[in-house]
Amino acid sequence: MIFLAVRELGLLVLGWMAAENDRSVTEALRSWDGQWFLAIAEGGYTGVPASLVDAFGNRTTATPLAFFPGYPTAIRWLAGIDGDGGIGLVSAALTVTIAAGIACSYALARLGRHVRGGSERAGLILVALFAAAPMSVVLSMAYSEAMFCALAAWSLVGVLERRWLLAGVACALAGLVRSTGAALVLAVALAVIVAIGKRQDGWRPWVGGLLAPVGLIGYLAWVGVQTGTWDGWFQLQERGWGTGFDGGAATVRFSLEALADARSVLEVTTVGLIVLAVVLLVVCVVRRVEWPLVVYSAGVLAMDLGSNGLMNSKARLMLPALALLIPVALGLARRRPATIVLTLCGLALASSWFGAYSLTSWAYAI
């Protein structure tokens, strides 16, 4: 209920701002990457309309392969359940997104109880913080973040509870949804190595560790076969979206330029969120948040902030770094109920406005 309440607030604010800017809410919720996911769900990788092009306005037969298959596959399955067209692709996409957000919420509530100093209250606050994250508008869109976050959160639950099959299967599925699965594979693999070194849980860590990278490696290998080169997916990202790992040089340049001329609220806020994310990661280390969670979130940040490409997507791509919210949740859990409610309501309102602004007033992709 907490997740749904916060996201409903976000949709109400989006509806208001969309009307003020002569935009359609439905169109906003399926814009940008959502168009690609819906097209792949409808016609597969070979049936994507030629009108969809990359960030440079180009298109080849391989361009759609830049998008992972997990989310559009789930959309296609749900849309086809009722025969005769089912419930429609857009409705199916938004249903998958909301269902994934709910599933993620249950996992986060569980993580909030498991972490050092955690409690049931901390878990519920963690859910609210996730639903009210700065770019949480994508948790209501035809985007794959909600599904990935759900699978990542449940995989991390499996790691902390030493339920290695859950950790491995959820990690494998997450690797079919987003490339960020690499950070999750790293965290699960290291946890498995530690468990095997301590001779814990018999054969289960071995199986979980073997399963974890299957989805990510499998898809990247398939794209390599389709493109005729082992790094085909990475080349698609570089050619189509200018995305490659540069150690953070582009992020630093973008941050300095955005602060120098302050061209938009979105760009300046993005810089602030980048700084906040790094600070929260340090706090996670100092507060001794469980190391698999820190490793995973550090990996997410490294992949996001260490890459060039579309700078306007930085805030969205940080959303899966779930552990960054844990110190905030633990801190709030020790406050009075009134303080907790006022703080969370303020964050929900701020994120609702920011998300609505990014879809209705900001002219570029997020």
* Residue type (1 letter), 262: A
H/E segment holding residue 36: helix 33-43
pLDDT at 85: 54
Tell me the per-residue pLDDT of 8-32, one tens digit each, with 9 for 90 and over.
Answer: 999 999 999 999 999 899 999 999 9
pLDDT at 81: 77
Q: Say how far apart CA 36 and CA 352 lie, in whole Å.
A: 24
Is residue 49 over pLDDT 80?
Answer: yes
Tell me the per-residue pLDDT of 93-104, one tens digit each, with 9 for 90 and over.
Answer: 999 999 999 999
Q: Say how far apart CA 166 and CA 184 lie, in whole Å.
A: 13
Domains of the chain: which residue ranges? Answer: 2-234+343-360
String of b and e for 204-226 (b: at least 16 CB within 10 Å)? bbeebbebbbbbbeebbeebbee
Q: Say how far apart CA 167 and CA 186 lie, in whole Å.
A: 12
Is residue 83 over pLDDT 70?
Answer: no
Is residue 304 over pLDDT 80?
Answer: yes
pLDDT at 82: 63
Is residue 66 over pLDDT 80?
Answer: yes
Contact indicator for 220, 229 with CB cutoff of 8 Å: no
- Residues 46-65 have a mean pLDDT of 93
Contact indicator for 179, 219 with CB cutoff of 8 Å: no
| pTM of the complete model | 0.96
Q: Say how far apart CA 237 and CA 52 lie, in whole Å.
A: 15
- Residues 149-160 have a mean pLDDT of 98
Contact indicator for 189, 183 with CB cutoff of 8 Å: no
Instruction: Tell the residue number behind the tokens 């150690």, with chain if given.
Output: 247
Instruction: Tell the residue number behind the tokens 């303020």, with chain if given.
Output: 346
Please name every residue paired with 307 in a beta bridge, in sequence order, or none if there are none. 245
Count CB neighbours of 32 within 10 A. Answer: 18
pLDDT at 310: 84
Q: Say how far apart CA 269 and CA 314 lie, in whole Å.
A: 11
- Residues 337-344 have a mean pLDDT of 96
Mean of pLDDT over the chain:
94
- Residues 131-156 have a mean pLDDT of 97
Is residue 261 over pLDDT 90?
Answer: no
Tell me the per-residue pLDDT of 204-246, one tens digit each, with 9 for 90 and over.
Answer: 999 999 999 999 999 999 999 999 999 999 999 999 998 989 9
Is residue 362 over pLDDT 60?
Answer: yes
Instruction: Give the CA dihedral 322, 265, 340, 150, nearest 10 degrees.
Output: -20
Which tokens go with 37?
């996911």
